[in-house]
């Protein structure tokens, strides 16, 4: 194996190069080697300047996240960076590709920074529930000023090399090899003194208006309510212009250590790895290549079809929306254009929106549209007869090899696949409404789906900005099947005595932006009612309310009532009276339900259903289920998803509570699934299953 850090001498310049694929993460071994190589170079009398470079496409993806929570060895990153900066010979960073997190902080400790145009700079620690913990909040603020620094640090968003040059992060942009450019630059400045040390810079922090800074910071905090790390980031940047460097650095380190040990950060670090693990699909190894896709036909000009088309177009695909009605198509294209205009008004790139819009066409000529497509995504009504008819036609009208996807949210993909006559080409691509916004894509693998067809759907999803999670066939797949388990409890609690407002208040306290009753009114009570009806299921209270004509926001009344033009849910005594009558009819004596019981009955049944899903092999690992609920249903990121949250609570606690609830409510399904009970009895966790 190549040395993780090497040194080459060219004239009076020593090039210290990191080689730690895939992202040059700065783990303890790398830090130790870096320390040794840089010290040797600085002590070498023949060396007048040092270049710090890296092999591969990334300079560095930052500290090694896998090491957090493990006993740390080798020099800590802040100390290593401080010693680089204190060196008496110039150190020039040669930057390219990703310069993220601790990698960025390492570059800030160097005296000069040379980059090529591929370089992207970010401090994404906030997305892991952390703050830059190796001097980044103190040095970046001194280098580019508090307002520019707080934006980068609180959003975690990357900037490109050109912006980095304009901000003063980079001294020189060179379109050649940054290593060569840095060597040449090092030769030029080898004797130049004083050495520019970022920690000693004061002009950008000399006369900061704290009120103006707070106003800018507040703008970025507004999008992160309830999260601890963004506030810590702002506090640390504020320290950079109100306290001496050493104090600011010490306080940054203290806050970093506190955040690193928090459940909130552990949860977000879990999700970072969960996103990558979800792409490791059993049976799909690197030899399985996606089929080429450029032309995609989307069948159905409804809201879902339009949202799907927008996502695909933004991913660079040529999309044709197909519908029987010209009017529906015209209306849909106008709605899509309007959405792109709205995005541009909110700061998105108008040019990108226009480019994407230009990729979307429409037609009523079904045969022509699907005949030329590499992928067809059906997004029509949730009716099995209609879908089977369409897939029967697709099986004969499309080219061999065209992937045929259904956007069904719960129906049997195997049955639809058989109707096509080409089950190997058929799978589900379950987008979540609004499909142009929600990140989750459940890729539903049929019993006969060809591996390369599956790889194709995953690749199209990724290119379209989605988080594709592969699931198996069952009613509701993973997300909706777990939501159905929660809905059964929600419906039971409404009958037993809880009000929609009490249920939603508990869900918001848990961290959900909206409670499930308000969400049901937003989506339309008739939607869930029709899905359940199509499959012979029934929610006793909610479906009775839907049948009474109360469909939610769209009819001004649902589980709540709504003033005209106002989407705010208002508790409605009519609903209480309606449910009282249902309870009487059902012989149920209603009772107040304690908040903690509401909270448990909203979450534990989902965890239990997920255990069944894992037992049946419908999901490959618990972290896939976490990803589904975080990216498709707004489960609080700070909780890491239902399975991570279950481990945090402790499985024995959940098992004991589920048994109690099952006994008291008579709801057999609440008894723990065998897998859940077994894990609890053996002291295991869902986390143990993620490695598999």
- The residues, any chain, with a CB within 8 Å of residue 118's CB and separated by 6 or more, are 57, 96, 97, 161
Dihedral of CA 20/25/28/32: which sign?
positive
Residue 278 CB, nearest approach to ligand T1G (Å): 10
Residue number with CB closer to ligand T1G (61 or 446): 61
Does 267 participate in binding ligand T1G (rule CB under 6 A)? Answer: no
Residue number with CB closer to ligand T1G (78 or 605): 78
Residue 58 CB, nearest approach to ligand T1G (Å): 6
Residue 450 CB, nearest approach to ligand T1G (Å): 24
Does 362 participate in binding ligand T1G (rule CB under 6 A)? Answer: no
| Count of C-beta atoms within a 10 Å radius of residue 289 | 11
125 labelled catalytic: yes
Residue number with CB closer to ligand T1G (240 or 517): 240
Helix, strand or coil, per DSSP, at residue 683? coil
Residue number with CB closer to ligand T1G (80 or 559): 80
> For ligand T1G, which stretch binds (CB under 6 A), given 10-18, 59-67, 319-327, 402-410?
59-67
Residue 123 CB, nearest approach to ligand T1G (Å): 7
Six token digits for residue 569: 């849910």
Residue 126 CB, nearest approach to ligand T1G (Å): 9
Mask of contacts with ligand T1G, 276-315, x by CB under 6 A? x---------------------------------------
The values of phi and psi at residue 10, to 5°, are -125, 105
Q: Which of 273, 349, 389, 616 binds ligand T1G (CB under 6 A)?
A: 273
Does 692 participate in binding ligand T1G (rule CB under 6 A)? Answer: no
Mask of contacts with ligand T1G, 193-232, x by CB under 6 A? ----------------------------------------
Residue number with CB closer to ligand T1G (2 or 586): 2
CB-based closest residue to ligand T1G: 101
Of 125, 442, 597, 609, the active-site residue reads 125
Our CA angle for 150, 156, 157, nearest 5°, is: 105
Interface with ligand T1G in residues 69-128 (CB under 6 A): 77, 98, 100-102, 105, 124-125, 128
| Count of C-beta atoms within a 10 Å radius of residue 690 | 20
Does 670 participate in binding ligand T1G (rule CB under 6 A)? Answer: no
**Separation of alpha carbons 542 and 538, rounded Å:** 9
Q: Which of 5, 23, 373, 485 binds ligand T1G (CB under 6 A)?
A: 23
Residue 116 CB, nearest approach to ligand T1G (Å): 16
Mask of contacts with ligand T1G, 123-162, x by CB under 6 A? -xx--x-x-xxx-x--------------------------
| Count of C-beta atoms within a 10 Å radius of residue 518 | 25
Does 65 participate in binding ligand T1G (rule CB under 6 A)? Answer: yes
Residue number with CB closer to ligand T1G (271 or 579): 271
- The residues, any chain, with a CB within 8 Å of residue 268's CB and separated by 6 or more, are 127, 128, 129, 637, 638, 640
How many residues make contact with ligand T1G (CB under 6 A)?
Answer: 26
- The residues, any chain, with a CB within 8 Å of residue 512's CB and separated by 6 or more, are 634, 635, 636
CB 541 within 8 A of CB 525: no
Residue 642 CB, nearest approach to ligand T1G (Å): 22
> For ligand T1G, which stretch binds (CB under 6 A), given 21-29, 196-204, 440-448, 662-670?
21-29
Does 46 participate in binding ligand T1G (rule CB under 6 A)? Answer: no
Residue 28 CB, nearest approach to ligand T1G (Å): 12
Does 459 participate in binding ligand T1G (rule CB under 6 A)? Answer: no
Residue number with CB closer to ligand T1G (89 or 120): 120
Residue number with CB closer to ligand T1G (65 or 304): 65
Residue number with CB closer to ligand T1G (58 or 677): 58
Does 64 participate in binding ligand T1G (rule CB under 6 A)? Answer: yes
Six token digits for residue 684: 């295991």
Q: Give the helix/strand (H/E) hosting 175.
A: none
Residue 279 CB, nearest approach to ligand T1G (Å): 8
Residue 583 CB, nearest approach to ligand T1G (Å): 51
Does 632 participate in binding ligand T1G (rule CB under 6 A)? Answer: no
Q: Which of 25, 435, 518, 603 binds ligand T1G (CB under 6 A)?
A: 25
| Helices 479-496/622-633 angle, 10° precision | 70
Six token digits for residue 368: 């022509």
Residue number with CB closer to ligand T1G (103 or 515): 103
Interface with ligand T1G in residues 520-559 (CB under 6 A): none
Does 271 participate in binding ligand T1G (rule CB under 6 A)? Answer: no
Where b means 16+ CB within 10 Å and e means fewer, 192-222 reads eeebbbbbebeebbeebeeeebeebbeebbe
Residue 227 CB, nearest approach to ligand T1G (Å): 16
CB 311 within 8 A of CB 436: yes
- The residues, any chain, with a CB within 8 Å of residue 440's CB and separated by 6 or more, are 431, 432, 466, 467, 469, 479, 627, 628, 631, 632, 633
Residue 120 CB, nearest approach to ligand T1G (Å): 8
Q: Which of 4, 61, 353, 500 binds ligand T1G (CB under 6 A)?
A: 61
393 labelled catalytic: no
**Separation of alpha carbons 57 and 119, rounded Å:** 9
CB 602 within 8 A of CB 510: yes
Residue number with CB closer to ligand T1G (136 or 636): 136
In DSSP notation, 381-431 reads -S-HHHHHHHHHHHHHHSPTT-EEEE--SSS-HHHHHHHHT-GGGEEEEEE
In DSSP notation, 48-110 reads SEEEEEESSS-SB--B-GGGTTSPP-S--HHHHHHHHHH-SS-EEEEE-SEEETHHHHHHHHS
Six token digits for residue 383: 């009716």
| Helices 245-260/229-242 angle, 10° precision | 170
**Separation of alpha carbons 268 and 261, rounded Å:** 12
Of 105, 252, 275, 442, the active-site residue reads 105
**Separation of alpha carbons 166 and 125, rounded Å:** 23
Residue number with CB closer to ligand T1G (63 or 501): 63
Residues that bind ligand T1G (CB under 6 A): 22-23, 25, 58, 61-66, 77, 98, 100-102, 105, 124-125, 128, 130, 132-134, 136, 273, 276
Q: Which residues does the annotation mark as catalytic?
A: 105, 125
């Amino acid at each position: 194996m190549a040395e993780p850090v090497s040194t080459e001498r060219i004239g009076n310049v020593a090039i210290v190069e990191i080689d730690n694929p895939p992202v040059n993460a700065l783990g303890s071994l790398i830090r130790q080697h870096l320390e040794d190589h840089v010290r040797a170079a600085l002590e070498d009398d023949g060396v007048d300047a040092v270049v710090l470079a890296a092999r591969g496409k990334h300079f560095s993806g930052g500290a090694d996240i896998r090491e957090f929570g493990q006993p740390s060895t080798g020099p800590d990153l802040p100390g290593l960076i401080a010693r680089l900066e204190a060196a008496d010979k110039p150190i020039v960073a040669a930057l390219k590709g990703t310069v993220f997190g601790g990698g960025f902080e390492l570059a800030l400790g160097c005296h000069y920074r040379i980059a090529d145009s591929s370089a992207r700079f970010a401090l994404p620690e906030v997305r892991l529930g952390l703050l830059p913990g190796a001097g980044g909040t103190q040095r970046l603020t001194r280098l580019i000023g508090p307002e520019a620094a707080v934006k980068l640090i609180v959003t975690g968003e990357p900037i490109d090399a050109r912006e980095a040059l304009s901000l003063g992060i980079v001294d020189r942009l060179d379109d050649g090899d940054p290593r060569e450019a840095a060597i040449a630059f090092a030769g030029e400045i080898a004797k130049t003194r004083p050495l520019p040390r970022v920690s000693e810079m004061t002009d950008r922090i000399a006369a900061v208006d704290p009120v103006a800074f707070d106003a800018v910071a507040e703008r970025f905090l507004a999008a992160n309510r309830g999260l601890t790390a963004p506030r810590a980031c702002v506090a640390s940047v504020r320290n950079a212009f109100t306290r001496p460097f050493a104090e600011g650095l010490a306080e940054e380190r203290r806050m970093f250590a506190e955040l690193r040990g928090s459940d909130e950060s552990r949860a977000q670090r879990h999700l970072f790895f969960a996103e990558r693990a979800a792409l490791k699909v059993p049976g799909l190894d690197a030899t399985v290549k996606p089929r080429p896709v450029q032309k995609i036909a989307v069948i159905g000009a409804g809201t879902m079809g339009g949202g799907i088309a927008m996502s695909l177009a933004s991913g660079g695909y040529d999309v044709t929306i197909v519908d029987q009605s010209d009017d529906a198509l015209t209306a849909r294209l106008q709605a899509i254009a309007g959405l792109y205009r709205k995005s541009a008004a909110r700061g998105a790139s108008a040019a990108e929106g226009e480019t994407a819009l230009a990729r979307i066409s429409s037609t009523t000529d079904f045969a022509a549209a699907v005949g030329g497509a590499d992928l067809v995504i059906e997004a029509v009504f949730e009716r099995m007869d209609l879908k089977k008819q369409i897939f029967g036609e697709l099986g004969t009208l499309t080219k061999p090899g065209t992937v045929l996807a259904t956007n069904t949210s719960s129906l049997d993909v195997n049955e639809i696949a058989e109707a096509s006559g080409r089950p190997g080409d058929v799978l589900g691509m379950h987008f979540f409404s609004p499909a142009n916004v929600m990140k989750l894509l459940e890729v539903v693998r049929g019993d006969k789906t060809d591996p390369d067809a599956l790889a194709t759907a995953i690749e199209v999803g990724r290119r379209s900005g989605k988080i594709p999670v592969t699931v198996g066939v069952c009613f509701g797949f993973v997300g909706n099947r777990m939501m159905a388990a929660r809905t059964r409890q929600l419906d039971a609690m409404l009958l037993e005595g809880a009000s929609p407002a009490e249920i939603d208040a508990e869900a918001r306290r848990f961290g959900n932006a909206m409670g499930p009753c308000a969400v049901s009114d937003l989506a339309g009570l008739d939607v869930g009612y029709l899905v359940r009806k199509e499959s012979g299921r029934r929610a006793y209270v909610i479906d009775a309310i839907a049948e009474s004509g109360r469909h939610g926001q769209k009819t001004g009344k649902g589980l709540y009532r709504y003033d005209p033009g106002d989407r705010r849910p208002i508790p409605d005594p009519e609903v209480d009276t309606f449910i009282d009558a249902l309870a009487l009819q059902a012989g149920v004596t209603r009772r107040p339900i304690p908040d903690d019981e509401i909270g448990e009955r909203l979450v534990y049944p989902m965890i239990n259903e997920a255990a069944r899903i894992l037992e049946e092999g419908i999901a490959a690992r618990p972290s896939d289920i976490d990803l589904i609920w975080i990216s498709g249903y707004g489960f609080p990121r700070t909780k890491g998803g239902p399975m991570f949250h279950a481990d945090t609570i402790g499985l024995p606690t959940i098992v004991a509570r589920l048994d109690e609830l099952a006994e008291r409510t008579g709801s057999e399904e609440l008894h723990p699934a065998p897998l859940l009970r077994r894990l609890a009895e053996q002291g295991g966790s869902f986390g143990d299953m993620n490695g598999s």
